[in-house]
Amino acid sequence: MDLNFTPEEEAFRAEVRAFLAGELPRDISDKLRLGRRLTKDDMVRWQKILFRRGWGAGMWPQRFGGAGWNVVQQHIFEEECAAANAPPQIPFSLRMVAPVIMAFGNERQQQYFLPRIVSGEDWWCQGYSEPGSGSDLASLRTGAVREGDHYVVSGQKTWNTLGQYADWIFCLVRTSSEARPQSGISFLLIDMKTAGISVRPIITLEGEHEINDIFFENVRVPVANLVGEENKGWTYAKFLLNHERTSNAGVGNCKRSLTQLKQIAAVQSVNGRPLIEDPRFRDRIAQVELELMALEITNLRVLSAFARENRPPGAEVSALKIKGSEIIQQLAELKMRALGHDALPYLREALDPEWSAEPLLGSHYLSYAPSLSGQYFNLRKTTIYAGSTEIQKNIISKMILGL
């Protein structure tokens, strides 16, 4: 197995790097570098820049408006974007609902929704989890009753990420209770401006508004917005989750986090020596770096196999999701340990781009390491969302090991 990039792939990397140097807005990259708060405008503006370049959706087929990249090209693009402090692309739109519409949507849905997604015109959010229906998603209770040309939807979704920005939401709803739970679920596309939808913020531990409760009270949704067949939504939901878990590995962002960890450890001192010279701490950095290298190779192998065999992601992505989320948390913990007492102060105001520290706090808000305690607590969720680690292990046991 040749682990080296080809000359063509290195040329593509140079092309991506030059594009980022010339087109990535400095105010946006500075926010990522300094750990400041991104806005909806930042992420949409970046998506529109990528769209104008023809890179709005790297691995989408060209017939749907994508760039038609292969697995390695997408990997290189994500790696270079992370290194350049580019913001993430909107995953709910590009990597979750779009593949479902491509695979199971009708031509009208594909022609209307996909161009608006890749251009950044529409922002999507996810309506899966409910109070009491998270890991056991098949127990969801949000109902959709058909009345003529509409479904009338009532219920509640929770842990909805960035729904306060969304134009549309893709929802799993119960359309039948007669068979086993998985057989009575449908996949609906719902305009967030529809009467009867309300969004209530959930403030996370670090004080940010990232997630929401979303309530549906007799919301009328055109039957034309049903994806695929009624009561077949469980199949589409699993297809979507496999695509989501593939991207959860986050190799590029992990590499950026590892670089930041090394920079912090090189500056922070213990007993008059840089922390990175401490054998025990250096060993911990080496261990997580080796695990990240193994994850990167495994990720490329798995995705290349899917592409080669022309099949959607399968149960193998559960292993990528487990390891990727664990590495994300390890890196966050090591950065906290490296900063020591400088990691403790946390002010929400420090996430604002214009904020500057008062003298009392200035020594703790270091130019090479923005306050990390908020990020640390936020990243505790990575082993839960998109299916908890326990659920992923169950999938591996059943679908791969046959236990």
> 49-65: per-residue pLDDT in tens?
999 999 999 999 999 99
In percent, the amount of the chain with pLDDT more than 70 equals 92
Q: What is the pLDDT of residue 367?
A: 60
- Answer yes or no: do 150 and 204 share one domain: yes
In-domain check, residue 2: no
pTM to 2 decimals?
A: 0.87
Q: What is the pLDDT of residue 403?
A: 65
**Which one, of 276, 282, 320, lies nearest residue 299 by Cα?**
320
Q: How many domains does the chain have?
A: 3
* Residues 335 and 261: beta-carbon distance below 8 Å: yes
* DSSP helix, strand, coil percent of the chain (3-state; round to 5): 55, 15, 30
pLDDT band, residue 361 (cuts 50/70/90): low
CATH number reported for the structural domain that contains residue 25 in this entry: 1.10.540.10
- Answer yes or no: do 276 and 395 share one domain: yes
- Last residue within a domain, chosen from 199, 231, 263: 231
With a cut of 90, say whether residue 67 has pLDDT above it.
Answer: yes
The phi, psi pair for 9, rounded to 5°, reads -70, -35
**Catalytic residue of the set 80, 244, 296, 316:** 244
Cβ neighbours, 10 Å, residue 279: 7
Residue 305, domain extent: 248-400
With a cut of 60, say whether residue 70 has pLDDT above it.
Answer: yes
pLDDT band, residue 208 (cuts 50/70/90): confident
- Answer yes or no: do 253 and 181 share one domain: no
In-domain check, residue 191: yes
CA dihedral 94, 136, 299, 10 (to 10 degrees): 10
Q: Could you tell me which residue, 32 or 135, shows the higher pLDDT? A: 32
* Residues 128 and 3: beta-carbon distance below 8 Å: no
Q: What is the pLDDT of residue 99?
A: 94
In-domain check, residue 347: yes
- Answer yes or no: do 253 and 210 share one domain: no
In-domain check, residue 360: yes
What does the alpha-carbon distance between residue 66 and residue 56 come to, in Å, rounded to a whole number? 7
Q: What is the pLDDT of residue 379?
A: 85
With a cut of 90, say whether residue 140 has pLDDT above it.
Answer: yes
Query: How many angstroms from the chain centroid is the CA of residue 36?
Result: 18
Mean pLDDT, rounded, for 205-212: 88
With a cut of 60, say whether residue 44 has pLDDT above it.
Answer: yes
Q: What is the pLDDT of residue 359?
A: 66
Distances (CA, A) of 289 to 88, 119, 139: 22, 36, 39
Mean pLDDT, rounded, for 366-388: 76
CATH number reported for the structural domain that contains residue 360 in this entry: 1.20.140.10
Residue 126 forms beta bridges with which residues? 170
Q: Which residues contact 262 (CB under 8 A, 6 or more apart)?
A: 276, 285
Q: What is the pLDDT of residue 32?
A: 87
Say whether 209 sits in a helix, a strand or coil: strand
- Last residue within a domain, chosen from 62, 89, 116: 89
In-domain check, residue 101: no
| Catalytic residue check, 244 | yes
- Answer yes or no: do 256 and 386 share one domain: yes
* Residues 164 and 199: beta-carbon distance below 8 Å: yes
Distances (CA, A) of 374 to 61, 336, 348: 38, 10, 9
- Answer yes or no: do 256 and 307 share one domain: yes
Mean pLDDT, rounded, for 127-138: 87
pLDDT band, residue 384 (cuts 50/70/90): confident
Mean pLDDT, rounded, for 206-218: 93
Q: Could you tell me which residue, 240 or 99, shows the higher pLDDT? A: 99
